[in-house]
Amino acid sequence: MSLIQLLDFKALGDSRGQLFSIEGSKNIPFEVKRIYYMFDMEKSTPRGFHAHKELKQVAICVKGSFKMLLDDGTHKHEVVLDKPNTGIVIDKLIWHEMHDFSDDCILMVIANDYYDENDYLRSYETFIGYLGDL
């Protein structure tokens, strides 16, 4: 599986505006159990800095832009998200960091499970150690 998996959502619209439909197990590669969004982030304050043992997510920059670093413990890739019709899959066991938020950034995240603190790997050293134990 590629570290970078971008999803392109089909625009449904006309001169009145655009609409993007998000459907679990259709254009999102899993059943959706949780959606959250972030806004008013400080450009100079990065977020993320964790991985999940089992959780899978799709991040969509609904407005504005930000940079996301994805790391599987071997390869690192940075992607700019700046289109509301593009989502990026954050698979389980992918370290991710988000930074350089535009002033108007709205980031929506769609997850395949409910919040569970025990699913988090919150330090890079713990993440690498966990991968080594698999």
Catalytic residue positions? 50
Could you tell me which of 29, 24, 26 has the C-alpha nearest to residue 6? Answer: 29
Residue 109 pairs with which residues in a beta bridge? 36, 59
Question: Which residue is associated with the tokens 């964790």?
Answer: 50
Q: Which residues lie closer than 8 Å to 123 by C-beta, 6 or more apart?
A: none
